[in-house]
A = this chain, B = another copy of it.
């Protein structure tokens, strides 16, 4: 769990012993490429920390499934809406390659939040950061065209270069056809 350990340490100043105790509440889960972590219509029950690999978060909209988001190595992820509002998830969450997660039940998270104020701080910071990332994405959509969004996204992480172009197209909010033309034009 070194990766998770380091990640938490990078976010908060926590006692070694407390951290050890908290880590005991995580479980490792391995997912083969293309297998589902969560299926649309089911209830999200866990938070995931991605040790390696990545997740594709797909969104069902008028009969087809679009990639809404990609979560990668060293990130926390879950369907927070499903957990908070106890509603079935709108998402299909799927491994984009062989992936290792550290998972923790949402009730356990809640308990740890109460038990360890520093963990509550950790939670706050995680969501603050998630918010900033989402706003960044939003501003990109508001102020850039597809080509600019593509170039910006490409810079951000090399893993994005490994996902199928059709998923990337969804992520960018354009059709695979358009993305293909974009790439041709740029090259």
Does B141 contact A173, Cβ atoms closer than 8 Å?
yes
Q: Is the CB of A143 within 8 A of B66?
A: yes
A84 to B11, CA, bound (A): 12
Do A142 and B170 form a contact, CB below 8 Å, given A130-B131, A131-B130? yes
Whether B173 lies near A131 (C-beta < 8 A) is no
Instruction: Please classify how large the interface on chain A is, using the bins under 10, 10 to 19, 20 to 34, 35 or more.
Output: 20 to 34
Partner of A121, one of B66, B120, B131, B135: B120
A124 to B130, CA, bound (A): 11
A134 at the interface (CB under 8 A from B): yes
Q: Does A113 contact B (CB under 8 A)?
A: yes
User: What 0/1 pattern do residues 5 to 48 of A give for CB contact below 8 A with B?
Assistant: 00000000000000000000000000000000000000000000
A138 interfacial contact with B, CB 8 Å: yes
Report chain B residues within 8 Å CB of A132: 80-81, 84
What is the bound-complex CA distance between A109 and B116, given in angstroms?
Answer: 19
Nearest CB to that of A67 among chain B residues?
B142
Our pick among B117, B120, B127, B141 for the contact of A138 (Cβ within 8 Å) is B141
Residue in B68, B81, B143, B173 whose CB lies within 8 Å of A61:
B143
Other-chain residue from B59, B84, B142 in contact with A143 (beta carbon distance below 8 A): B59
Q: Which residues of B lie under 8 Å from residue A121 when comparing CB positions?
A: 113, 120
16 A/B residue pairs, CB under 8 Å, sorted by A: A68-B138, A68-B142, A69-B135, A80-B131, A80-B132, A84-B132, A113-B121, A113-B124, A117-B117, A120-B121, A127-B127, A134-B134, A134-B137, A137-B138, A141-B173, A142-B171
| A residues whose Cβ falls under 8 Å from a Cβ of B | 59, 61, 66, 68-69, 80-81, 84, 113-114, 117, 120-121, 123-124, 127-128, 130-132, 134-135, 137-139, 141-143, 170-171, 173
